[in-house]
């Protein structure tokens, strides 16, 4: 449903997870467009696992709009090896934030899910109606189940209490303030770090995980932030809405692109003892695109921007760029 929600420059906007990849992009977008009453809390200031603390925070701050960008996230290995943390923390964080938003009378809430909520072998590209039509990918089923519960929470509060809570399903997101830790990161920041370090050390090869054959769609964090603001203002409905770039690449193609951007001249090896995960995860974003939104940052530009961010935040000395 198309419905204009007016967020005013002085609206009280709470970005949960404002220091993360998506939350910090939202924060920048609001600052850029002149919003004056942004609310953010670091983990040290507010533990989102603590229901009573979240209730007190809501009661004190009385936000008008809430963006749920706080979550336990990670790449394929972190999801696979820390299932309890992924299911518990995500359920707890979103329960506290969604339930608290209802208690406080928040005008509108946007919940961020993930494309991994769709079945492992979903038809491609994946449409919103494919949700819960088949078994999940096993490596991230714990995270996916939590995110599906978040979608259902928003639907349930909308049905029973009339809350304007919407769910947005982004594809694989990357960008500024990404996590470059090799044990917990997603593929794109991991490859940036691996290729950079191989270039600096003169290593003859870089080892990537899996077969390189899975296909993934990548969306730059600032594009996702713009899409979230757009949907907060233009979408109100029970169904989740997909946010993708519109096309995908193989992991091998991604590795070649990252190597080229960084200027690495060695070879690429594949460690097939590591999981591939789901074979393909391309979202059908036609509902969003039909509302008039389009991404702006193509993959190569996004990789360059993310590499610059990595060089400035995570290294002492920038390597000479290609």
Point out which residues bind ligand GFB (CB under 6 A). 75-77, 79, 114, 116, 139-140, 143, 172, 185-187, 190, 208-210, 214, 216, 251, 274-277
Q: Report, in Å, the least distance between residue 171 CB and ligand GFB.
A: 7
Q: Report, in Å, the least distance between residue 2 CB and ligand GFB.
A: 28
Nearer to ligand GFB, 10 or 272 (CB): 272
Q: State the Cα–Cα distance between residues 65 and 128, nearest whole angstrom.
A: 24
Nearer to ligand GFB, 106 or 116 (CB): 116
Q: Report, in Å, the least distance between residue 204 CB and ligand GFB.
A: 18
Q: State the Cα–Cα distance between residues 101 and 88, nearest whole angstrom.
A: 20
Nearer to ligand GFB, 276 or 309 (CB): 276
Q: Report, in Å, the least distance between residue 251 CB and ligand GFB.
A: 4
8 A C-beta contact, residue 132 and residue 191: no
Q: What is the DSSP letter of 167?
A: E
Nearer to ligand GFB, 158 or 193 (CB): 193
User: Which among 232, 242, 291, 243 has a CA at the least distance from the CA of 131?
Assistant: 242
8 A C-beta contact, residue 107 and residue 8: no
Q: Report, in Å, the least distance between residue 280 CB and ligand GFB.
A: 10
Q: Report, in Å, the least distance between residue 93 CB and ligand GFB.
A: 15
8 A C-beta contact, residue 38 and residue 82: no
Q: What is the 3-state secondary structure (H, E, C) of 213-257?
A: CCEECEEEHHHHHHHHHHHHHHECCCCCEEECCCCCEEHHHHHHH
Residue nearest to ligand GFB (CB): 75
DSSP result, 35-104:
--EEE---TTT--TT-HHHHHHHHHHH--SEEEE-------HHHHHH-HHHHHHHHHHHHHHHHHHHHHH
Bridge partners of 89, per DSSP, are: none
Judged on CB neighbours under 10 Å (0-12, 13-18, 19+), 84 is exposed
Instruction: Answer yes or no: 58 catalytic.
Output: no
Secondary structure class of 36 (helix, strand, coil) = coil
Contacts of 240 (CB under 8 A, 6+ apart): 113, 117, 128, 131, 151, 166, 167, 168, 169
Pairing of strands 108-112, 65-68: parallel
Spot the catalytic one: 58, 65, 118, 143. 143
Q: Which residues are catalytic?
A: 143
């Amino acid at each position: 449903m198309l419905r204009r929600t007016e967020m005013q420059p002085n609206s009280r906007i709470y970005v949960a997870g404002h220091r993360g990849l998506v939350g910090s992009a939202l924060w920048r977008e609001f600052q850029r467009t002149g919003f004056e009453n942004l609310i953010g809390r670091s983990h040290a200031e507010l533990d989102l696992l603590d229901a009573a603390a979240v209730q007190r925070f809501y009661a004190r701050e009385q936000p008008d709009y809430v963006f749920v960008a706080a979550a336990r996230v990670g790449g394929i290995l972190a999801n696979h090896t820390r299932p309890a943390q992924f299911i518990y923390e995500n359920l707890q964080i979103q329960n506290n934030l969604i339930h608290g938003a209802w208690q406080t009378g928040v005008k509108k809430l946007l919940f961020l899910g993930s494309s991994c909520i769709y079945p492992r072998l979903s038809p491609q590209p994946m449409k919103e109606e494919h949700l819960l039509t088949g078994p999940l990918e096993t490596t991230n089923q714990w995270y996916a189940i939590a995110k599906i519960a978040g979608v259902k929470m928003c639907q349930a509060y909308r049905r029973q209490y009339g809350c304007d809570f919407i769910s947005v399903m982004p594809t694989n997101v990357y960008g500024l303030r990404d996590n470059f830790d090799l044990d917990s990161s997603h593929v794109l920041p991991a490859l940036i770090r691996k290729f950079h370090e191989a270039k600096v050390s003169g290593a003859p090869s870089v080892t990537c995980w899996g077969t390189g054959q899975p296909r993934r769609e990548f969306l730059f964090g600032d594009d996702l932030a713009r899409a979230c603001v757009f949907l907060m203002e233009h979408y109100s409905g029970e169904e989740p809405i997909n946010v993708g770039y519109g096309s995908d690449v193989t992991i091998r193609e991604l590795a070649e692109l990252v190597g080229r951007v960084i200027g690495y001249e060695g070879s690429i090896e594949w460690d097939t003892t590591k999981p591939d995960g789901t074979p393909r995860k391309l979202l059908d974003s036609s509902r969003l695109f039909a509302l008039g939104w389009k991404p702006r940052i193509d993959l190569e530009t996004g990789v360059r921007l993310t590499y610059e961010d990595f060089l400035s935040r995570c290294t002492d000395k920038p390597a000479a760029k290609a």
